[in-house]
Structure 1
Amino acid sequence: MLIKLVDDCREFIAGDGSLLRELLHPDKADVQIRYSLAHATVPFGQATKPHRLTTAEVYYIIEGFGTMCIDDESEPVEPGSTVYIPPGATQSIENTGDHELVFLCIVDPAWQPQDEEIIEDG
């Protein structure tokens, strides 16, 4: 049986600027899954850098309020919101609430560094 507590996972700053804790990844644990699962936090008043993945991603909002941007669309998100991000879409999320924005990230197939591109401002 594998049980991981989020607080036991090392926190690091992801390429998009979010605070990330990787919960499950098939390359890093003995799990028979093809996706990766991470816990992300965007601090009050901040947003992630625009980025795109070659893989599909799903965000599940746990806590806080924000605005999700995918390509040329923007929509508010709140606890309980599930967001599908198609492969190749430019994405970012902004914390519009008054405390941390916390969400789960599911990437399928599992996240790999070469699958992500950070979009630098012109």
Structure 2
Amino acid sequence: MIPDDDPSRALTVATPGDPATPFVSLVGNTYAMLITGEQTNGQYCLIEMRVPDGGGPPPHRHDFEEMFTVLEGELEFTFRGEKHLVRAGSTVNIPANAPHNFRNVSGAPARMLCMCTPAGQDEYFLRIGTPVTGWDAPAPRLTADEQAAQRARAADLAATYRSEFL
């Protein structure tokens, strides 16, 4: 039986340039929280990621599904130790608990959408990243102490957000 509609939940439209979209800089990448877990009752979140050449997170794993659709450029995904070159137009699904990471090795910027289900990764990024004003904002130049503090915050909060760095 399908439950009744919940009229307290609203339609969400992610519009390019919406000033309410939160942006963060993290490991040299810029992430926009297009649709948050708060908006989906925790079901999923959708994050647009802009990854400069050489950018990408360290190897990690988490207990939720993660799907990437490459919109522009190409990225190298490492999944369980095996490298896969993924180009614009392709979609990658990372099963829960599998070790993975991605790196932009193309020589040009890349852009992709990341959907996590259930949500939570959006909150994690907002708690550990450095807020920026939008796509054109330069990545903040963090001091060595600020970088160390950001890494420590990421490590301290990883278990809370069901993630593990490898």
Bin of the TM-score, shorter chain as denominator length? 0.7 to 0.9
Is 1:79 aligned to residue 88 of structure 2? yes
1:10–1:33 CA distance, 2 compared to 1 (3 A): closer
Aligned to 1:109: 118
Do the aligned partners of residues 6 and 53 (structure 1) sit closer, same or farther apart at CA in structure 2, a change above 3 Å counting? farther
Instruction: Give the strand-richer structure, 1 or 2.
Output: 1
Structure with more of its chain in helix, by fraction:
2
TM superposition shift of 1:32 = 5.6
Mind listing any 5+ residue stretches in structure 2 that lack a counterpart?
A: 1-10, 125-160
What are the within-5 Å matches in structure 2 for residues 32-71 of structure 1? 34-71=43-80
Where does residue 12 of structure 1 map in the other structure?
Answer: 24
Matched AA of 2:45:
S
SS in structure 1 at match of 2:67 = strand
Q: Deviations over 1:60-113 (max 9, x none)?
A: 000111211111211100001110101111111111223211111111111254
1:91 to 100, 103, 108: 100
Q: Normalising by structure 1, report the TM-score.
A: 0.81
Q: 8 Å contact 1:42–1:48 — kept in the other structure?
A: no
State percent identity of aligned pairs. Answer: 26
Runs of 4+ more than 6 Å apart: none
Task: Look up the match of 1:118.
Answer: 165
Under a length normalisation based on structure 2, what TM-score does the superposition of the two structures give? 0.62
Q: Which protein has the larger Cα radius of gyration, Structure 1 or Structure 2? A: 2
Task: Provide the residue aligned with 1:25 in structure 2.
Answer: 36
Cα deviation for residue 117 of structure 1 reads 2.3
Contact 2:22/2:32 (CA < 8 Å) preserved in 1?
yes
Q: Which structure 1 segments of 5+ residues have no match?
A: none
Shift of 1:17: 5.4
Q: 1:40: how far off?
A: 0.8
Root mean square deviation of aligned Cα? 2.0
| Count of aligned residue pairs for this structure pair | 116
In the TM superposition, what is the alpha-carbon distance from 1:12 to its structure 2 partner? 0.5
Q: How far, CA to CA, are the matches of 1:24 and 1:117 in structure 2?
A: 24
Residues 4 and 66 from structure 1, CA distance in 2 versus in 1: closer, same or farther, beyond 3 angstroms? same
Partner of 1:38, secondary structure, is strand
- The 1:25–1:99 alpha-carbon spacing in structure 2 relative to 1, beyond 3 Å, is same
